[in-house]
Chains A and B, each alone.
Chain A
């Protein structure tokens, strides 16, 4: 049996050939998947229940037409505002990161000039530094720029944090592009800006997707910087707004769970659609 099992395994046929060994691994995977999904399923189920239903039968399948909790959140809280704020902050940061990151990566990757190695090193140095520990000077800096309690503070910090990984990923990719097209365009007298914009940039989209996903998830989910920079309730992003909201409704568990469900929904839905790109993007820093 084991010879068959080995060949199945190594040839990656994925057959249930070796029941013993593979059975154990399959059980581990199924058990793990249940543990991974159960909390999320309970969260979604509870979002459709009243508080007393949650206490009495937390695991039962709810009546999905009971959307009272969601209506309450939509009408009685600042939730929609938080959601919009998160979209604005994340969107602006991503636009800046991808624009500036591509600019730097293009210069470093396509041109030979003095100091390009140094500039790349400069960006890479920012890759591993835990910026949380510099929160005190950052706070003072934002105060001096008078953008405390202003979403620009978040957008600027996220942009700076996103640039090192983006420059790193994009430079590597841009360097691999062939130079024939570029040379041909240059012969035809195209300007450098035109070459970059019309010829090279369309080719770097795959790397932009990877760099984009790697940055968009931590920015969308971030809580630390809003906690320090933003006080005004109308400016809060979703994770930060969630703390306000959870504090207000402590006893209404139905509303709490639907708030969590609503906050988790956008990213879960996008993840399920684009799981391959998400996994590639979020592990790209760690996978050579």
Chain B
């Protein structure tokens, strides 16, 4: 790097660095720090009242009905995370493995699998909402037309299927992302290693579990962490498909909806509470940060440096 002799170099660097720093400081760092501060105050509408210590945290964690709402939403998030781990990341790994072979048409398949990823979640959510319609949705129409009419049901209207219907829609939307991240990981495996494996074993299973999987560990670390953060921030898709209340009967309620509802209120429950909302935000934030750090560190430990 060149050593600068200009007299005004400090000024020049300042001109370059300060505006972008100001944006990040004002619209990211400051709001996040404030979110922590907000949680310790009592709020009435948009007005901040007294400092009340940990009371907001106590309320959302231990006082009914908040306690069961928090637990219910959290439990649904956990289901969503593990289900997507299989349907999105697991399937993504298999698809990546298939694409890696570069069979005829691989280029086309690669473009197709990523197509839903570029769509807005809002479009995906409405599209699937129409597909799941009990009378006129293509899901039930298809079932009826192949003689499985008894399987047709109000997918989004009953507690037993609503959350899973959302999970399927989400998996369809995003499966292309882990697929292509894994694929990039596989393409970086050096040819010599693969040749050496070919000498040792004929078994596809051994190859996948002992060679490919460990060598794409860096990709796995990233997609697992991103899925975790995404699953616990889930908002748009349930908001459109199930509504702000996580209907029916809270079966699709997740922390994102619950937080938004608590902070900004909704049509039916009305009351907005910035204090409780901030406490929830802080708890979710700490939870995500802590677990994401653990996931990243533990998965990093098994990554192999080539």
A240 to B120, CA, bound (A): 11
Is the CB–CB distance between B233 and A26 below 8 Å?
Answer: no
- Does B194 lie at the interface of the complex (its beta carbon under 8 Å from any beta carbon of A)? yes
Q: List 7 A-B contacts (CB under 8 A).
A: A113-B10, A113-B13, A122-B21, A125-B29, A128-B292, A133-B284, A239-B121
Is the CB–CB distance between B223 and A286 below 8 Å?
Answer: yes
A194 to B95, CA, bound (A): 49
Residues of B within 8 A of A223 (CB): 120-122, 236
Q: By the criterion of a CB under 8 Å from any partner CB, how many residues of chain B are at the interface?
A: 102
Q: Which of B21, B34, B123, B219 contacts A242 (CB 8 A)?
A: B123
A146 to B223, CA, bound (A): 39
- Does B288 lie at the interface of the complex (its beta carbon under 8 Å from any beta carbon of A)? yes
Residues of B within 8 A of A33 (CB): 108-109, 112-113
Interface SS of chain A? helix
A20 to B176, CA, bound (A): 25
Is the CB–CB distance between A268 and B229 below 8 Å?
Answer: no
Q: Which of A104, A160, A183, A238 contacts B2 (CB 8 A)?
A: A183
Interface SS of chain B? helix
- Does B63 lie at the interface of the complex (its beta carbon under 8 Å from any beta carbon of A)? no
The 3 nearest A-B residue pairs measured at CB: A160-B27, A137-B34, A221-B120
A283 to B178, CA, bound (A): 9
- Does A212 lie at the interface of the complex (its beta carbon under 8 Å from any beta carbon of B)? no
A25 to B97, CA, bound (A): 8
Q: Which of B20, B233, B256, B277 contacts A163 (CB 8 A)?
A: B20
- Does B274 lie at the interface of the complex (its beta carbon under 8 Å from any beta carbon of A)? yes
Is the CB–CB distance between A279 and B110 below 8 Å?
Answer: yes
- Does B269 lie at the interface of the complex (its beta carbon under 8 Å from any beta carbon of A)? no
Residues of A within 8 A of B20 (CB): 100-101, 103-104, 123, 163, 167
- Does A246 lie at the interface of the complex (its beta carbon under 8 Å from any beta carbon of B)? yes
A101 to B219, CA, bound (A): 26
- Does A83 lie at the interface of the complex (its beta carbon under 8 Å from any beta carbon of B)? no
Is the CB–CB distance between A36 and B285 below 8 Å?
Answer: no
Stretch of B67-75, B128-136, B151-159, B245-253 on the interface side: B128-136
Is the CB–CB distance between B30 and A242 below 8 Å?
Answer: no
Task: Given A10-B191, A119-B17, A133-B281, decide whether A29 and B103 contact each other with a Cβ distance below 8 A.
Answer: yes
Task: Given A137-B35, A286-B226, decide whether A12 and B126 contact each other with a Cβ distance below 8 A.
Answer: no
Residue from B23, B218, B240, B292 with most neighbouring chain A CB atoms (10 Å): B23
Is the CB–CB distance between B19 and A134 below 8 Å?
Answer: no
A151 to B48, CA, bound (A): 26
Residues of B within 8 A of A35 (CB): 172
Residues of A within 8 A of B9 (CB): 111, 113, 192
Residues of B within 8 A of A156 (CB): 23, 26-27
Is the CB–CB distance between A271 and B12 below 8 Å?
Answer: no
Task: Given A43-B127, A103-B16, A113-B13, decide whether A130 and B285 contact each other with a Cβ distance below 8 A.
Answer: yes
Is the CB–CB distance between A283 and B181 below 8 Å?
Answer: yes
Is the CB–CB distance between B101 and A140 below 8 Å?
Answer: no
A137 to B292, CA, bound (A): 24
- Does B4 lie at the interface of the complex (its beta carbon under 8 Å from any beta carbon of A)? yes
Is the CB–CB distance between A133 and B285 below 8 Å?
Answer: yes
Q: Which of A103, A159, A179, A263 contacts B17 (CB 8 A)?
A: A103
Q: By the criterion of a CB under 8 Å from any partner CB, how many residues of chain A are at the interface?
A: 104
Q: Which residues of A contact B (CB under 8 A)?
A: 2, 6-7, 9-10, 12, 14, 16, 21-22, 25-26, 28-30, 32-33, 35-37, 39-40, 42-43, 54-55, 58-59, 96, 100-101, 103-104, 106-108, 110-113, 119, 122-123, 125-126, 128-138, 140-141, 143, 156-157, 159-161, 163-164, 167, 179, 182-183, 186, 191-193, 217, 220-221, 223-224, 228, 238-240, 242-243, 246, 253, 256-257, 260, 263-264, 267-268, 271-272, 275, 278-279, 282-283, 286-288
Is the CB–CB distance between B38 and A28 below 8 Å?
Answer: no
Is the CB–CB distance between B109 and A107 below 8 Å?
Answer: no
Residues of B within 8 A of A268 (CB): 115, 118-119
Interchain nearest-CB distance for B184 vs A (Å): 4
- Does B105 lie at the interface of the complex (its beta carbon under 8 Å from any beta carbon of A)? yes
A237 to B274, CA, bound (A): 26
A113 to B13, CA, bound (A): 9
Residues of A within 8 A of B278 (CB): 136
Interchain nearest-CB distance for B51 vs A (Å): 17
Interchain nearest-CB distance for B255 vs A (Å): 10
- Does B138 lie at the interface of the complex (its beta carbon under 8 Å from any beta carbon of A)? yes
Is the CB–CB distance between B112 and A264 below 8 Å?
Answer: no
A195 to B281, CA, bound (A): 46
Is the CB–CB distance between A182 and B127 below 8 Å?
Answer: no
- Does B64 lie at the interface of the complex (its beta carbon under 8 Å from any beta carbon of A)? no
Which residue of the partner chain B has the closest CB to A39?
Answer: B127
